[in-house]
Amino acid sequence: MKEIARALNRPLEVVKRALDVIKKLDPRPGLRYNKTEPRLVEPDVYFRKVDDQWQAFLNEDDMPQLRLSPTYAACWCVMPPTAMCAIT
């Protein structure tokens, strides 16, 4: 504290009082207004070391399920992938 008082060119007693005030402050004042718990962020990709090599893996826990409309599925099966499917 002496070094702080010297650097600020203030008496040591003033620095001590300021430190007492700072100790009483709330480091997270916003928590009084927001009562919800923070959501944990889950990565889409994670890395794991396998046999001295790092490999990337998809986190499939929250991966959306993809569905294909039966109309488009039928179109895909009938036509080659390069052809355009005209659905009426």
pLDDT-derived band of residue 55, with 50, 70 and 90 as boundaries? very high
Whole-structure pTM value: 0.38
Average pLDDT over residues 46-71: 86
The percent of residues above 90 in pLDDT, for the chain, comes to: 40
Cα(23)–Cα(12) distance, rounded to whole angstroms?
A: 17
pLDDT-derived band of residue 26, with 50, 70 and 90 as boundaries? very high
Alpha helices in the chain (DSSP H): 2-8, 12-24, 70-78
pLDDT attached to residue 41? 84
Q: For residue 59, give both structure tokens.
A: 């986190």
